Amino acid sequence: MADLEGLLLEWYEHRGRDLPWRKTSDPYAVLVSEIMLQQTQVERVVPRYLHWLERWPTAASLAAAPLGEVIREWQGLGYNRRAVSLHRAAQHVTASGWPENLTELPGVGRYTADAIARFALQHDVLPVDTNVRRVAERTGWAFGPASAHALMDLGATVCRARVPRCAVCPLATGCPSRGRRYEPLRKQSRFEGSFRQKRAAVLRLVAEGERPVAELDGEAVAALVRDGLVRLDGELVSLP
């Protein structure tokens, strides 16, 4: 079999995506990018990431910001609990430094911890997200940490979930899965008409200014209060 890792790295040198968070080794900047990317497309994240770091360039500056302002800035990225987790993580880092076990940070799971360790701290670990896992499983190749960004890009742009673009894949010659098509692993729940949409709509209204609870969806308000995204003071709902 061909040296797939060598072919992959050569492809990445010419075809890799030019993304702003790949130009820094600042753990905080990497953390911001990874939290934003957890549920949001790269194209939407890029401008928001750049603006976020202009406003809060360090963990300490974010930690000192009012949570309500952080939530307001997050609007449009979806899954707003991530904003609360990121704010809490910044407070943890500011107060106690970066923990040896990065999963101790709010909102940081195994993949995000490994991404920070690899891309910011230069640890010899391969962060395994959906794209990395897909390429590794389809090729049967044991890729190393140096291929992390290349694997992510290949999985996102060429070795796609359902219909891989094998004709333009640099690994096609040595790939045992070449030419296969795949059924979707799961269907994403509809956002339109969902409770998530109701929550998002209520939070968007409250981000514009405090509102009487009687004007809002009560169930959505209760869920947002539980998640720390809004505050209920008597009959008024506001950002925390």
The residues that are catalytic are: 34
Residues 99 and 57 in one domain: yes
Share of the chain above pLDDT 90, in %: 85
Q: Same structural domain for residues 82 and 111?
A: yes
Residue 123, SS3 per DSSP? coil
Choose one of 72, 96, 119: the last residue of a domain: 119
* Residue 6 DSSP label: H
What's the pLDDT band for 1 if we cut at 50, 70, 90?
very low
* Residues of the domain holding 66: 26-119
Please give the tally of structural domains in the chain: 3
Identify whether residues 103 and 134 lie together within a single domain: no
pTM for the complete prediction?
0.89
**Residue range 81-87: average pLDDT?**
97
Is 134 in the same domain as 146?
yes
Q: Distance between alpha carbon 128 and the CA centroid of its chain, in Å?
A: 13
Kindly state whether residue 172 falls inside one of the protein's structural domains. yes
Count Cα atoms within 13 angstroms, Cβ side, for 115: 24
- Same domain for 65 and 114? yes
200 within 8 A of 165, measured Cβ to Cβ:
no
Is 22:45 a contact under the CB 8 Å cutoff?
no
pLDDT, averaged across the chain: 93
Say yes or no: 111 and 34 in one domain.
yes
Final residue before a domain boundary, out of 102, 119, 136: 119
pLDDT at 61 over 90: yes
Do 50 and 99 share a domain, yes or no? Answer: yes
Task: Tell me, yes or no, whether 179 and 208 share the same domain.
Answer: no
Any domain includes 21: no
pLDDT in tens, 110-166: 999 999 999 999 999 999 999 999 999 999 999 999 999 999 999 999 999 989 999
Distance CA 182, CA 237 (A): 46
Domain boundary among 87, 119, 151: 119
Residues 180 and 203 in one domain: no
